[in-house]
């Protein structure tokens, strides 16, 4: 909690300083939407992963190669924007909360039983990016690229085995998480809508975490987890300035004329 408090203090301190800049080209905005985790690298394997069938029998399972598996998530951002006077470039810095997940499938050697394992993480992040577009302010049409520093707050694991409809969720202890990871992003915004692609460098699970089994064997349960993942984000962008007011007024006028 101490790290989170410091994190928030620094962010809001930065926003307060930026807000003092007396320029019509400085404004805040809100972004919110869905995270689509679709493309999942296959884990490198974990020899001690066991599946129990409910009758006391245990089977070793190994990861299944699969590229596509959908895991939904969500996010919300509060951003400070500085647009340059040439109306072609801009920069944004913000604070963000997001939740997303990764999925993996494991099966027995005879392929008769399997388990789907899903890890979800909640993060506080500092996104930053550069905006580019020709005269982009009025249509809010621009490309943007940058990155994000992500602080991992907590994570959960959900397991669903093939021979039952019941899934089991457990909270992952904090010592099993990496404190920070980083991501690169590129996106396109038009009016109130945006489409964005993220690449997360490094898993939020600690590949170096070690635990001791009942037989005193030491293992690293997350050593085989993917070293990165792709995310697609879709959502709304709402500038908190006169641009939004003008566009909303124009929309209301159009509706009134349509209904006459």
- Identify which of 144, 152, 252, 136 has the alpha carbon closest to the alpha carbon of residue 198: 144
CB count within 10 Å of CB 140 equals 20
Measured in whole angstroms, the distance separating CA 195 from the mean position of its chain's CA atoms is 13
99 burial class (0-12, 13-18, 19+ CB within 10 angstroms)? middle
Q: What is the pLDDT of residue 124?
A: 96
**Predicted pLDDT at 170:** 87
Listing DSSP states for 234-246 in one string gives EEEEEESSHHHHH
Q: Write down the pLDDT at residue 20.
A: 47
User: What is the pLDDT at residue 254?
Assistant: 66
Which is nearest to 86 in space by CA: 29, 27, 131, 146?
A: 131
pLDDT number for residue 107: 83
Mean pLDDT (10-residue bins), the chain, 260 residues? 50 48 74 92 69 68 79 95 89 96 85 85 96 89 96 92 81 88 96 95 85 77 82 94 76 72
**Predicted pLDDT of residue 203:** 84
The span from the CA of 11 to the CA of 79, in Å, is 10
Using DSSP bridges, classify how beta strands 50-52 and 142-161 pair: parallel, antiparallel or unpaired: unpaired
Q: What is the structure's pLDDT at 55?
A: 67
Q: What is the DSSP letter of 44?
A: -
What is the pLDDT, as a whole number, of residue 227?
A: 81
pLDDT score for 22: 40
Structure tokens belonging to residue 17: 């300083």
Q: What does the domain layout of the chain look like in residue ranges? A: 2-259
Assign 115 to helix, strand or coil: strand
């Amino acid at each position: 909690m101490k790290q989170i408090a410091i994190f928030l203090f620094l962010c809001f301190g930065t926003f307060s300083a930026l807000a003092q800049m007396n320029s019509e080209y400085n404004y805040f905005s809100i972004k919110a939407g869905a995270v689509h985790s679709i493309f999942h690298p296959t884990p490198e394997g974990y020899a001690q992963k066991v599946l129990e069938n409910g009758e006391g029998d245990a089977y070793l399972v190994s990861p299944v190669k699969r590229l596509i598996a959908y895991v939904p998530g969500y996010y919300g951002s509060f951003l400070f924007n500085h647009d340059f006077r040439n109306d072609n470039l801009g920069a944004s810095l913000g604070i963000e909360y997001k939740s997303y997940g990764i999925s993996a499938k494991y099966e027995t050697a005879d392929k008769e039983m399997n388990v789907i394992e899903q890890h979800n993480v909640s993060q506080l992040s500092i996104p930053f990016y550069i905006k580019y577009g020709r005269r982009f302010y009025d249509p809010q049409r621009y490309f943007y690229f940058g990155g994000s520093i992500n602080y991992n707050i907590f994570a959960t694991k959900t397991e669903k085995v093939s021979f039952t409809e019941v899934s089991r969720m457990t909270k992952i202890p904090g010592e099993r998480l990496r404190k920070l990871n980083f991501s690169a992003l590129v996106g396109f915004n038009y009016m109130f809508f945006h489409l964005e692609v993220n690449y997360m460098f490094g898993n939020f699970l600690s590949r170096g975490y070690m635990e001791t089994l009942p037989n005193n064997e030491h293992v690293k349960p997350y050593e085989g987890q993917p070293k990165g993942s792709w995310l697609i984000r879709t959502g709304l962008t709402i500038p908190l300035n006169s641009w939004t007011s003008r566009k909303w007024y124009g929309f209301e006028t159009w509706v009134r004329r349509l209904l006459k």
